[in-house]
A and B are shown apart, each in its own frame.
Chain A
Amino acid sequence: MLRLEKVRVRFHDQLVLRDVSMKAASSRTTVLIGRNGAGKTTTLRSIMGLLPLEDGRILFDDFDLATVPVHDRARLGIGYAPEDRRLISDVSVEDNLLLPAVALSFAAFERKRRLDEIYALLPEIAVTRKRAAGVLSGGQGKIVALGRALMVGTRYVLLDEPFQGLAPVLALSYADTLARLRQTRPSLGLLITESTPKLLEKIVDSSLLIERGEVTELTKLIGSHTAAAQ
């Protein structure tokens, strides 16, 4: 269980998260819905430890993450795919995927095992694995960023607006990929932010609405998405 308790985050003198309390359970897909500027990205960045908390706690299986530096959160099994991909453009797709494994000094067999698993799940990037990440299209880049998050994200994977900027066809295939991921890694906790959550209907277990830095739970899932986004 990944739990936020009354998390307050200030950014450039602006209160971006106001006492946010929410949870993302393992084996579940949690979607955080909100428009631009509502605090979706800030929530994920806070979980990763990239922003200091002014108040509140973030708990990983009841363990307070306050003293865990950013780089050790990867070690806990939290993978993060930022909205803007953040791949190293002059390095090959495969080396981008392997970078977390290099950083965390995985044994060679473990590296290979996880890489094979990622390629099996994301066959579209297996064919581009020797190419430099910089030449990929935005959509392919998003999938590589997902793959890189899966390299470390054995417990939780945080996806920031995965469909943002994707062509409709690519967005659909990305949604299918997530559905397959749901099946191949049933114990994984997924936390996804979205402004238009329609594509996630098939896999979502719990929907949260974030507005002006405040989170409320949406109890009725089906059919409430469109209302929530407006």
Chain B
Amino acid sequence: MFANYVPVIVDGLVDAALIFFVAVGLTLVFSVARVLNVAHGSFYALGAYLSVVIGMWLTGHGWIVASLAALLLSPILIAVALGPLIERTLLRWTYGRPEALQILVTFGLFLVLEDMQKLIFGVEPYSQDTAVQLFGVSHISGIVYPNYQLLLIVLAIMVGIGLRLMLRQTRIGKLIAAVVADQEMAQTIGIDVSRIFVLAFTLGVLLAALGGALASPMIGVAPGLGAEAIVLAFAVAAIGGLGQIEGAALAAILVGLTRASAIYWAPEFQPVVPYLVMVAVLLVRPYGLFGSVGLRRI
């Protein structure tokens, strides 16, 4: 009986892990800078593209195990190259301005990044599943699962806990939390708020790109990836309560499990399920599961 649910749970958690990387970055950037970045999904797509291209190149030269490193290296490259640049030039300009303007500017950025991606990587789908093959498979209640998928779940949990520990224990984390709580107070006690903005945004880019890179061995990497990621991440961040790490984690699991359930039992509903969950949660708790009016913490 229970065995029937195992595939749903595993698929759901894998889905949740990937959404979590994108949603938690979105929520982090929002809580620090108070900007909902529509272009956030593009970093997911770029992470996927770059790691596939580097991975193919490395595999082509016979460095098969090294292609795994591409999954971690490409998000870092993207974050370092784009994070500070975009924050300093474009995003900074939208702080404290009306939401409509922030959404238009970041939507413009999304279109630019989307076209850049097509110019650089073309429109043909890529696939590069060396990582999935390298890790082999496991048998759970008679069903075969790629170990890579199980590893993803573990990685997402580690990133979630790591982020929480970073915010609680490290110097930078404490400063980020202070800026989230009260930007003006943070300045008067000696925190260089503009530096924290760059750091938090770059960290958000890193997380989204990491999500894309880790997803890439399991999916066909093609145009449209970024749009799909951002819409789901929005839903998850809204369900969890914008600005809440634990909220994003719980919401990602909720959406992942319901999406997987829909695929098994009502496939025609699969695309709308996340939004039905979102509507249901927001009707009962308008600020999301972990959010509340005026709450300023992460």
Contact = CB atoms under 8 A, between A and B. Distances in A.
Contacts of A95: 174
A48 B177 contact: no
Q: Of residues A95, A103, A105, which shows the largest number of chain B Cβ atoms within 10 Å of its Cβ?
A: A103
B189 to A, nearest CB: 4
A103 B182 contact: no
Interface centre among A74, A75, A82, A99 (most CB of B within 10 A): A99
Interface centre among B174, B186, B188, B193 (most CB of A within 10 A): B188
A99 B120 CA distance: 45
B178 A99 contact: yes
A89 B181 CA distance: 9
Interface residues of B, number: 18
B192 interface: yes
Interface string A18-38: 000000000000000000000
B193 A86 contact: no
Chain A: interface secondary structure?
helix
Chain A contact patch, size range: 20 to 34
A100 interface: yes
A102 B178 CA distance: 11
Interface string A71-107: 1111100001010001011110001000110111100
A50 B272 CA distance: 47
Contact of A71 (B171, B181, B182, B193): B193
B96 to A, nearest CB: 14
B188 A70 contact: yes
Among A75, A86, A102, find the residue whose CB has the most chain B CB atoms closer than 10 A. A102
A114 interface: no
Nearest to A48: B188
A90 B171 CA distance: 17
B243 to A, nearest CB: 13
17 contacts: A69-B187, A70-B187, A71-B187, A71-B190, A74-B189, A82-B188, A86-B185, A88-B177, A88-B297, A89-B181, A89-B297, A102-B171, A103-B178, A103-B190, A104-B190, A148-B189, A151-B189
